[in-house]
Amino acid sequence: MSAPKTLYDKIFDDHVVDRQADGTCLLYIDRHLVHEVTSPQAFEGLRMTNRKVRAPEKTLAVVDHNVPTSDRSKGIQEEESRIQVETLAKNAADFGIEYYSERDKRQGVVHVIGPEQGFTLPGTTIVCGDSHTSTHGAFGALAHGIGTSEVEHVLATQTLIQKKAKNMLIQVDGTLQNGVTGKDIALAIIGEIGTAGGTGSVMEYAGSAIRELTMEGRMTVCNMSIEGGARAGLVAPDEKTYAYLAGRPKAPQGANWDAARRYWDTLNTDEGAHFDRIVKLDANNLPPIVSWGTSPEDVVSVNGIVPDPSAIADEVKRESKIRALSYMGLTAGTKMTDIELDVVWIGSCTNGRIEDLRAAADILKGKKISDRLAYMMVVPGSGLVKEQAEAEGLDKIFIEAGAQWREPGCSMCLGMNPDQLLPGQRCASTSNRNFEGRQGFKGRTHLVSPKMAAAAALAGRFVDVRTMN
Amino acid sequence: MQPFTKLTSTPAPLKVVNVDTDMIIPKQFLKTIKRTGLGTALFSEMRYKEDGSENPDFVLNKPAYRKSEILIAGDNFGCGSSREHAPWALLDFGIRCVISTSFADIFYNNCFKNGILPITVSPEDLDKLFDDADRGSNATLTVDLEKQEITGPDGGTVKFDIDPFRKKCLIEGLDDIGLTMEKAPKIAGYETKAKADRPWL
């Protein structure tokens, strides 16, 4: 009998093409997602070396980062964005890759459409030139972001040179309170371990609170693994996973589905398998979390205060946190619920799925957003999410509350398109990064869940969504 | 890829933790479809004022560090976005070596694909190297990849670890796609077996 394995060990071992004596492996890649920002140089590299795409049928391309979220019928106005989008369209056509253009209703944020199409499957290896590829780990897929040189490597060889990472277990037990979500779990974990806490590791999320999460909630948690330093997050597949995937366009059908199910049922960590590190989180007492600084580790309970960095012993760290407070225009000791907002943004690969929009709409229904806000923007994660939301009347709830209802894309999560904060504007955002300048030059981002974002939109400042009805 | 063997330069100290790749190269420069020409955009939002003029307080704008080829930075350098534009921008500026107490995985990987050597040192050694770097043009560091050694201005040395395969690729400037293509029969063999084992893929 072989030694007990973790879920990560199992998927990794099933994809080793070659193992060198020093442990460097060639790992087979089952699924490759491609977007317009990190791929042009990779395709250029293929052309320069006269190489082909080894497995175009295992590759799916979509535009998301640059696309405007306003009316697209007249094309993309901004020249550089348009060129990048057109470049992907041409590359996909030249190399025989399936491509969703900005006019295709299947288009959307790359990490929303992978699962939506059933392209993301348990036990597969998935890569994309995008750090939030960790999202797909919610399906029990080994999924991580890569650089453009590696995109080229995967296009040419359908493999990646990898060394085995460490195994890290995030055990979340208990029951979340009403109003507390997967986003709060993710932010709390990052606050606990720091943004380098998972460096060199693959995180497996387990425990009753993770089992209780919907697939959307699990995707949110896995999505944020990279903000905790881990390239990949994993949740073992279960009936919820199968129910989500059944009938999706690219999911297996018939006898293949049955065979796949049998394999997927083996994808869990064996009793007694070794983890290099275990972190535990109690879901019962978890409050809604809000970020205060410029790193996703800078988080606090919504009922907390902006912390005082002057007590940090390490000089470089202390100065960095003081710099963060200054950038955010905040004073230590301020109650988080006293922080007033200019913008609320809902969307992204973290929280742009149908469940996220339902959660936000549920808070906003029949109410108006605060006059304080310059605007509130809701950006569905994909054209299909948008269609579903409209079928449920969510768009009307948002519009009647005073929010903007937009076309799908990455939008203000990183502001490569025209959706950007102005200098000094303070935003409650359901995205994943509060880095300096992330949502716009000198813009100020506070990371929250969709429910917390919606509650903040009504009040014009942060409020504990648990106190609202 | 340009090989990396040995490098001597005045190191520039960037005393910030969690330097993310958005900071190294902001999004507005990601719209390029080329790898080159990103050096002027490196650390753009810290390096330039709103009117586009240089911020004299930023380390790479100070006379001693304008031509630094070694960057010393706080913990968790290169976190966040996978954008390879970050090492492209560093390289285009002229930086070939980054020293920190830890690096984010994707950035770390990306460095090796571009002939940049990321070196991980202990917090004590980082403090010492920051002190050396603070001396400006009076102090140079020599990084010797073959010996896995950093030599300071006073002759003291710091040893560092590096994965042997990555070291070899860097020293010889190897194209790893070329190396992998040599294993094409193994890849084909894997595909045949995987098709039988997991026919739904």
Q: Is A462 exposed, middle or buried (0-12, 13-18, 19+ CB in 10 A)?
A: buried
Q: Mean pLDDT throughout A91-97?
A: 98
Residue B142 backbone phi and psi in degrees, to 5: -120, 125
- Are A157 and B194 a contacting pair at CB < 8 A? no
Strands A166-173 and A277-282: parallel
Q: Mean pLDDT throughout B115-136?
A: 97
Quick check: A20 contacting B, CB < 8 Å?
Answer: yes
Q: Which residues of B touch A130 (CB under 8 A)?
A: 81-82
Q: Which residues of B touch A37 (CB under 8 A)?
A: 30-31, 83
Nearby residues of A466 by Cβ (< 8 Å), 6 or more positions away: A177, A178, A179, A180, A287, A288
Q: Across the interface, which of A51, A149, A320 has its CB nearest the CB of B74?
A: A320
Instruction: Tell me which amino acid residue B76 is.
Output: N
CA–CA dist B19, B103 (Å, integer): 10
pLDDT > 90 fraction of chain B, expressed in percent and rounded: 98
pLDDT in tens, B47-62: 999 899 999 999 999 9
Q: What pLDDT is stored for residue A74 in this prediction?
A: 86
Report whether pLDDT(A73) > 90.
no
Q: Mean pLDDT throughout A257-269?
A: 98
Q: Mean pLDDT throughout B110-118?
A: 98
- Are B30 and A257 a contacting pair at CB < 8 A? no
CA–CA dist A260, A30 (Å, integer): 14
How does DSSP assign A159-186, residue by residue? EEEE-PPEEEEEEEES-PPTT--HHHHH
- Are B32 and A51 a contacting pair at CB < 8 A? no
Radius of gyration over alpha carbons of chain B, in Å? Answer: 19
Chosen for mutation from B1, B16, B27, B83 (greatest number of chain A CBs closer than 10 Å) is: B27
Rounded to a whole number, what is the distance in Å from the CA of B187 to chain A's nearest CA? 6
Rounded to a whole number, what is the distance in Å from the CA of A358 to chain B's nearest CA? 28
Chosen for mutation from B100, B106, B131, B179 (greatest number of chain A CBs closer than 10 Å) is: B106
- Are A163 and B163 a contacting pair at CB < 8 A? yes
Model confidence, pTM = 0.97
pLDDT > 90 fraction of chain A, expressed in percent and rounded: 98
- Are A121 and B183 a contacting pair at CB < 8 A? no
Distances (CA, A) of A232 to A119, A435, A437, A457: 18, 20, 25, 32
Q: Mean pLDDT throughout A389-408?
A: 98
Q: Cα B68 vs. chain centroid, distance in angstroms? A: 13
Report the alpha-carbon angle A329-A335-A337, nearest 5: 95
CB atoms within 10 A of CB A276: 12
pLDDT in tens, A31-62: 999 999 999 999 999 999 999 999 999 999 99
Quick check: A82 contacting B, CB < 8 Å?
Answer: no
pLDDT in tens, A429-462: 999 999 999 999 999 999 999 999 999 999 999 9
CB atoms within 10 A of CB A118: 18
Q: Across the interface, which of B83, B109, B198 has its CB nearest the CB of A38?
A: B83
Nearby residues of A391 by Cβ (< 8 Å), 6 or more positions away: none
Q: What pLDDT is stored for residue B138 in this prediction?
A: 85
Could you tell me the two tokens for B138?
Answer: 């009076």
Chosen for mutation from B169, B177, B179, B190 (greatest number of chain A CBs closer than 10 Å) is: B177
Q: What pLDDT is stored for residue A1 in this prediction?
A: 61
Q: What pLDDT is stored for residue A353 in this prediction?
A: 98
- Are B28 and A414 a contacting pair at CB < 8 A? no
- Are A438 and B22 a contacting pair at CB < 8 A? yes
Nearby residues of A17 by Cβ (< 8 Å), 6 or more positions away: A25, A26, A27, A28, A159, B183, B186, B187, B190
Look at the block and give the residue holding tokens 């293929």. Answer: A46
E-strand stretches of A120-275: 125-128, 142-145, 159-162, 166-173, 201-206, 232-234
Quick check: A370 contacting B, CB < 8 Å?
Answer: no
Closest CA in chain A for residue B24: A436
Rounded to 10 degrees, the C-alpha dihedral A438/A420/A300/B21 comes to: -10
Nearby residues of B157 by Cβ (< 8 Å), 6 or more positions away: B149, B150, B151
- Are A129 and B82 a contacting pair at CB < 8 A? yes
Nearby residues of A261 by Cβ (< 8 Å), 6 or more positions away: A242
Nearby residues of A47 by Cβ (< 8 Å), 6 or more positions away: none
Write out residues 423-452 of A within 8 Å (CB-CB) of B: 423, 433, 435-438, 441
Q: Across the interface, which of B30, B130, B199 has its CB nearest the CB of A256?
A: B199
E-strand stretches of A383-432: 404-405, 426-429
Rounded to a whole number, what is the distance in Å from the CA of B169 to chain A's nearest CA? 12
The residue count of chain A comes to 469
Radius of gyration over alpha carbons of chain A, in Å? Answer: 21
CA–CA dist A193, A314 (Å, integer): 17
Q: Mean pLDDT throughout A238-262?
A: 98
pLDDT in tens, A318-368: 999 999 999 999 999 999 999 999 999 999 999 999 999 999 999 999 999
Q: What pLDDT is stored for residue A468 in this prediction?
A: 87
Report the sign of the C-alpha dihedral through residues A122, A125, A128, A134, in that order: positive
DSSP SS3 for B11: strand
Could you tell me the two tokens for B134?
Answer: 């603070």
Report whether pLDDT(A102) > 70.
yes
- Give chain B's mean pLDDT: 97
Closest CA in chain B for residue A154: B177
Q: What pLDDT is stored for residue A2 in this prediction?
A: 83
pLDDT in tens, B14-25: 999 999 999 999
pLDDT > 70 fraction of chain A, expressed in percent and rounded: 100
A-to-B residue pairs, Cβ atoms closer than 8 angstroms: 190
B100: enclosing H helix or E strand: strand B97-100
- Are B18 and A37 a contacting pair at CB < 8 A? no
A34: enclosing H helix or E strand: strand A31-34
- Give chain A's mean pLDDT: 97
Q: Across the interface, which of A22, A196, A319 has its CB nearest the CB of B102?
A: A196
Report whether pLDDT(B175) > 90.
no
Q: Mean pLDDT throughout A190-198?
A: 98
CB B141 within 8 A of CB B71: no
Q: Across the interface, which of B17, B45, B187 has its CB nearest the CB of A320?
A: B17
- Are A49 and B177 a contacting pair at CB < 8 A? yes
CA–CA dist B110, B92 (Å, integer): 14
CA–CA dist B143, A86 (Å, integer): 43
Q: What pLDDT is stored for residue A469 in this prediction?
A: 62
